[in-house]
Structure 1
Amino acid sequence: MTNVISNSVQENVADAESSTPEISVRPVAGHIGAEIKGVDLSQPLDDAVVAKIRRKLLKYKVVFFRDQQIGHAEQIAFARRFGELTHAHPHEDAPPAEFPEILTIDPKRYEQKYGKKFRDQYAKRQYTYYSGWHTDVTAAVNPPAASLLRAETVPDFGGDTTWTNQAAAYAGLSEPLRNLVDGLRAEHRFLAGQERGDENDELSRRIKANLLVSHHPVVRVHPETGEKALFVNPGFTTRILDLSAVESRKLLELLYEHLTRPEYTVRFKWEPGSVAFWDNRATAHLGPQDLDHLDVERVLHRVTLIGDRPVGPTGYTSEIVEGEEFRATANVKVA
């Protein structure tokens, strides 16, 4: 499948001048992130504006918009300018009425759905739906090409999200280590590090009923920029194939420590109406780590763009082990 972000408008990735001088772009960190002003996401955008946003997304990996007065419909309409949207999530059986593309991220909603012990159970794991370094849905053979997250309600303090540039992290490895990881493959699945799960945990049962397991290259060649990027993350990567358990664990620990080094990251303070749009093929992100002890409300809404199968430097293309490709329709099985 042709990469979805580039389907609408073909263009040079270079940060060339465009005919949209009213749009300002301000980088916010050394390796990743920029804030875009002068765009009203509640209104239809012409092709030149969409093309410029795409260029900035490819260059900065995540772009931010402030003070956007939009709802589900406008968020979906804007995201569709960049490609076809997925269903809300492979395990989401109750998206907002009439908006099956929307995944609402709200820890209190998860507690209502999966029980009051939800936070305690997931604090013991490497990954939760609201915290933990991860790249979105890499358990699928075609993880989302990009994600768009909108803040509805956020606390006055805390609750920041951090992104890391996995292309910059790859470039920062020594040449011998780059040569090693270029040829490796890894397994990705939900509940990384907790493969056995808990039969009394409703979410674990649902994940097992809708199993997704894929093999991906450890390094992904970006289909638009040609950059090489690390493509492992603590949230979904279980092991590196063809290595011993000890070798796999030690190498993944090294890569995780490297890709989350502060110099590759940007941290974003949410406000109501804030929107973050990131390239899921070249980033990982970390949800807030500072709210579990506070009685605060935090509600955001995400959509994701259908992606293609990652391809590694050796030409290896991701393969399905369990499940199906992540597409616009879903038939979620309730355990």
Structure 2
Amino acid sequence: MSEATVGPGWTVNRLTGSVGAEVVGPDVRQFDSQGAARLLHLLDNFGVIFLRGQSKSPRDLAEFARSFGPVLPAHPMKPGIPDLPSILGNETGNVSARDAQCRDIHNRQGTNWHVDCTFMPQIPALSLLQAAVVPAAGGDTLFSDLRSAYDALSAPLRRLADELHCRHDARKLYPEWLRPDADPELRERLLSTKPVTHPMVMRDARTGRKSLLLNPNCVTGIVGLSQFESDTLLSLFTTHALIPERTVRWRWEEGDIAIWSNPRLLHNYVLDHGSAERRIYRAMVDYCPIMRATAAHERPGTAQT
């Protein structure tokens, strides 16, 4: 990528042959719409961008996120941190052996491969993470590119995926909220969040490129298929998406910021840092102009009653 494309003062270092780049030069505390346009152009190419040595202040993260469009609430069902309703605080420590136990083939008890908030009728367009406190070792974040996964499918499987729609249900993500001893408010909030359907294939409004939309933490099935057929196909598509050649792994340092196209990338957090503290802040930007069904028989984001 030429300097004319990237712009003066920035250096782009590819992290893998397929996805992810570190961009050297931007300062999120001195950022404007022109810089945001440049980063969005890089996101179209690399999917996820990493910025080293930035601010650790969640307020700076909120301001940086605002450069890209309307900043969304921190989470559909969880509050933001005090005085910053758009910032979700993820504080983890004392990781146990149970946290890392497999719940199913793609999910563990403590974390999972996921796209942010697909259980809502509209999906956030961009997600951002900021490292405030990181362990001396461990706690990395993994990303997998669903665009290259779609491109690498055989033609018959691409045609099949183009016609499929998946059910997304927050109850799969938060089953502990349904236990008898759970917080009644959380239980009611979860029960009032109705499952939705989204197409399995999305088309990016800017680039026209297609990508799979997979989310193992809340997809419960494929519309119109038996559970056996659905589970088999979802396992095939997801396993295909998670091969090493489509992934990048980021080792956090304090002050790092990552920004990515939320529907295009699965991401996951590695539970290998034991008792060490880890504090990561998240922001989400705008609802997705990428939301375009590739099959005409069902609109994306349809609520299930």
TM-score by length of 2: 0.89
Residue 242 (structure 1) shift = 0.3
Residue 207 (structure 1) shift = 5.0
Paired residue for 1:6?
none
Kindly provide the CA deviation profile for residues 201-243 of structure 1, in whole angstroms up to 9, marking residues without a partner as x. 4497255244142100011111211111010121121100001
Residue 124 (structure 1) shift = 3.8
Match of 2:280 among 300, 309, 321: 300
Matching residue's letter, 1:97: P
Name the CA distance, whole Å, in 1 between partners of 2:270 and 2:277.
13
Paired residue for 1:230?
212
Matching residue's letter, 2:155: E
Which consecutive segments of 4 or more residues in structure 1 shift more than 6 A?
193-196
Does the Cα contact within 8 Å between 2:32 and 2:67 map onto a contact in 1?
Answer: no
Name the CA distance, whole Å, in 2 between partners of 1:15 and 1:312.
34
Matching residue's letter, 1:237: V
Name the CA distance, whole Å, in 1 between partners of 2:163 and 2:179.
34
Paired residue for 1:68?
54
After superposition, residues 105-144 of structure 1 pair within 5 angstroms as 105-107=90-92, 124=103, 127=107, 131-144=111-124
Residue 322 (structure 1) shift = 5.7
Matched, 1:282 2:264: yes
Match of 1:190 among 160, 167, 170: 170
Residue 181 (structure 1) shift = 1.0
Paired residue for 1:221?
203
Q: Judging changes above 3 Å, is the alpha-carbon distance between structure 1 residues 178 and 79 closer, same or farther for their aligned structure 2 residues?
A: same
TM-score by length of 1: 0.81
Matched, 1:37 2:24: yes
Name the CA distance, whole Å, in 1 between partners of 2:101 and 2:210.
32
Residue 319 (structure 1) shift = 2.7
Paired residue for 2:153?
173
* Secondary structure of 2:59's aligned partner: helix
Does the Cα contact within 8 Å between 2:120 and 2:301 map onto a contact in 1?
Answer: no
Q: Which 10-residue stretch deviates more, 58-67 or 301-310?
A: 301-310
Residue 64 (structure 1) shift = 0.1
* Secondary structure of 1:192's aligned partner: helix
Match of 2:72 among 86, 107, 115: 86
Question: Gapped runs of 5+ residues in structure 1?
Answer: 1-13, 324-335
Name the CA distance, whole Å, in 1 between partners of 2:253 and 2:141.
12
Residue 77 (structure 1) shift = 1.1
Question: Gapped runs of 5+ residues in structure 2?
Answer: none
Q: Judging changes above 3 Å, is the alpha-carbon distance between structure 1 residues 20 and 168 closer, same or farther for their aligned structure 2 residues?
A: same
Q: Which 10-residue stretch deviates more, 190-199 or 127-136?
A: 190-199
Match of 1:248 among 226, 230, 234: 230
Paired residue for 1:55?
41
Give the paired residue count.
299
